[in-house]
């Protein structure tokens, strides 16, 4: 499952993170990831999203992620709702 | 001029540039539409480049910006983000404040489309 791969890559890059991966369409290639990590503190939104994009560079490049929505939060204990 | 130079010229020369799938009149992707709507809502002038006519546009753009996805939005040469960030900044009011600071509050809201010359017609 691509969503498991995505979760694994994000947890590997952001060890303290709370990670939420939603398959938006059920088709296994449109995802919304929400990552809460202290790694984001003090970074601009562009820098925060760059870190997420880099963590997912491989599935983005090989096309297994067709569409990616990103929400980042500085606090790992975020409310997923 | 190379395609990369052309892309850089749009980024540097336009007050607000969006590289998107489709055009403002006919957006071809929901994310491009989301970013456009946020820009429009914040009163941004919009210069759009459709990346679909030639796959090299997207390749060159992403190589230049180190940003893998489309759309990409720039204010005065600075990448502000893709659809999610643009929407987030609009919702918080930060997009309007950023535009006010960069372009002035009494800016004219025009929409135009740039076709890159290196793109085959």
**pLDDT (tens digit, 9 = 90+) per residue, B74-105?**
999 999 999 999 999 999 999 999 999 999 99
Which CATH number fits the domain that encloses residue B95?
A: 3.40.30.10
Contact with chain B for residue A62, Cβ under 8 A: no
Q: What is the residue range of B15's domain? A: 3-113
Q: Are B2 and B118 in contact (CB under 8 A)?
A: yes
| Residue B118 domain-assigned (yes or no) | no
- The residue among B82, B19, B86 whose CA lies nearest residue B56 is B19
Contact A69 B69 (CB under 8 A): no
Residue B104 C-alpha, separation from nearest chain A C-alpha, in angstroms: 22
Model confidence, pTM: 0.92
Going by C-beta distance under 8 Å and a sequence separation of 6 or more, which residues neighbour residue A17?
A: A10, A11, A35, A36, A37, A39, A76
Q: How many domains does chain A have?
A: 1
Interface predicted TM-score of the whole assembly (ipTM), two decimals: 0.89
| Residue B119 domain-assigned (yes or no) | no
| Residue B83 domain-assigned (yes or no) | yes
Which CATH number fits the domain that encloses residue A15?
A: 3.30.300.90
**pLDDT (tens digit, 9 = 90+) per residue, B34-66?**
999 999 999 999 999 999 999 999 999 999 999
Q: How many domains does chain B have?
A: 1
Contact B68 A53 (CB under 8 A): yes
| Residue A81 domain-assigned (yes or no) | no
Q: What is the residue range of A29's domain? A: 2-73
B102 to B71, B82, B99: CA distances (angstroms): 21, 19, 5
Rounded distance, CA A48 to CA A38, Å? 11
What residue of A is the nearest CA neighbor of B66?
A: A50
């Amino acid at each position: 499952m691509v969503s498991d791969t995505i979760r694994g890559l994000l947890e590997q890059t952001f060890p303290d993170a709370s990670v939420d991966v939603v398959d938006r369409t059920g088709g296994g290639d449109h995802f919304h990831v929400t990552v809460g990590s202290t790694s984001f503190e003090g970074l601009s939104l562009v820098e925060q999203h760059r870190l997420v994009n880099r963590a997912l560079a491989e599935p983005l490049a090989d096309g297994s992620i067709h569409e990616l929505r990103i929400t980042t939060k500085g606090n790992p204990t975020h409310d997923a709702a | 001029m190379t395609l990369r130079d052309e892309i850089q010229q749009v980024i540097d020369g336009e007050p607000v540039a969006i590289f998107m799938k489709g055009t403002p009149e006919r957006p071809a992707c929901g994310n491009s539409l989301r970013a456009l709507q946020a820009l429009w809502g914040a009163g941004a002038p919009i210069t759009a480049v459709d990346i679909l006519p030639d796959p090299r546009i997207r390749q060159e753009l992403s190589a230049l910006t180190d940003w893998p996805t489309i759309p990409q939005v720039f204010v005065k040469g600075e990448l502000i983000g893709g659809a999610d960030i643009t929407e987030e900044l609009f919702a918080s009011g930060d997009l309007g404040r950023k535009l006010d600071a960069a372009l002035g509050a009494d800016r004219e809201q025009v929409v135009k489309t740039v076709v890159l010359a290196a793109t085959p017609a």
